[in-house]
């Protein structure tokens, strides 16, 4: 089962603002990543995975295998 970036954030219990702060990016930049995950840098994608505690492939590559 995969998660969208938004679902992963919600699962971890963070607001967009909290996630942006944890990632060291603006809320607007984070919001854009939720809308278009392919725009995330590799480093940001890895950090999102670490912050929410969900493997990166379950967030960013789940839809590629379906």
pLDDT for the residue 63: 56
Prediction pTM value: 0.88
Owning domain of residue 39:
5-65
Rounded to whole angstroms, the Cα distance separating 9 from 51 reads 9
Q: Which of 18-53 are b and which e, b meaning 16 or more Cβ less than 10 Å from the residue's Cβ?
A: ebbebbebeeeebeebbeebeebeeebbebbbebbe
Domain of 17: which CATH number? 1.10.260.40
pLDDT of residue 62: 67
Number of domains forming the structure of the chain: 1
Q: DSSP letter for 38, please.
A: G
Q: Give pLDDT tens digits for 19-59.
A: 999 999 999 999 999 999 999 999 999 999 999 999 999 99
What is the predicted pLDDT for the residue at 65? 44
């Amino acid at each position: 089962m995969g998660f969208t970036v938004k679902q992963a954030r919600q699962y971890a219990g963070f607001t967009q603002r909290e996630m942006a702060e944890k990632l060291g990016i603006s809320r607007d930049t984070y919001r854009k990543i939720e809308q278009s995950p392919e725009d995330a840098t590799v480093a940001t994608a890895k950090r999102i995975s670490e912050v929410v505690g969900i493997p990166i492939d379950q967030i960013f590559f789940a839809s590629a295998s379906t």
